[in-house]
Chain A
Amino acid sequence: MTAPPLAQYPKWRDDLILALRVKNVPGDQIGDILLEVESHVTETGESPEEAFGKAKDYAASRVVVKPDPPEEDMDLVAQILIPGIGGFLLATGAFDLGAGQDSWAGWRPWLMLIAGFAIMVVTFLRLPVDDVRDPRSNSPILGSQRQFILIILGSFVIAAVLMFWLGWLIAP
């Protein structure tokens, strides 16, 4: 079975998705736009760039939805600060645990590790899910956003293991 035409132009497709995401176009609309392009290039035999021009320019022409209002500054601070605190607790707790150090600022290393990981899990699970969806089946086109979040959390576990190992290496 030959690949669908748009799959032969992954860069154009990915550039379009990114440009639409940046403009806050909802995931289901992105899926609809992608499928329009796929359908059209299948009919005409053109490349997406021949039929639709540069992906970024085409994305700009498709913004008919009002973007979300700009977030409050405090929301933005919280979105950066809270995961930052969680990452710090995770890394420091893992390092101190590996180094065999008793506590940091009165915190037990294992408590910092658990608190840090809990903050990261809650932060990422609270992110709004806005998958790019196929309008025909409503199933995610690019893989579920939740799967992506789980991969990110998995990488935090790996980072914690590395910090533990580093603490163990450096320990006197």
Chain B
Amino acid sequence: MLSQSALAIVAAENTTYGYQILQRLERAGFGKIKGGTLYPILARLEAEGWITSSWGEGEGGPGRKFVSITDAGREEIAHRRSEWPGFAEVIDNLWTDAIKRDTIT
């Protein structure tokens, strides 16, 4: 879920960087995500070919590693988006079943 959300943020911003993604995730309701959680996700997204990265100037310090969505990344988002309703239905059915069995309220 987090990796898909990070990918969606990169697509929405077109070009962004780690700390900005963390801030967007927090505003979206994921709470405070640590750099140690996000950067491995970004590395995996890049290894899959869904984003690219390059170093550029930042506001002081060593600069920023900017990430951008690729065409393959946009296709992946479109694919996941098309599967989402089916996935949500499966989860909802499982929750409804659990409620019926009185295991959750």
Contacts and interface: CB of A to CB of B under 8 A. Distances in A.
A132 to B, nearest CB: 14
Given A42-B61, A43-B61, A35 B55 contact: yes
Residue of B18, B43, B47 most packed against chain A (CB within 10 A):
B43
A86 to B, nearest CB: 40
Residue of B58, B60, B65 most packed against chain A (CB within 10 A):
B65
Contacts of B64: 39, 43
Interface residues of A, number: 26
Interface in B34-77: 34-36, 39-40, 43-44, 47, 55, 58, 60-65
A147 interface: no
A64 B44 CA distance: 7
Interface residues of B, number: 18
A43 B16 CA distance: 14
8 contacts: A35-B65, A38-B62, A39-B62, A43-B64, A46-B35, A52-B35, A64-B44, A136-B62
Interface of B: 18-19, 34-36, 39-40, 43-44, 47, 55, 58, 60-65
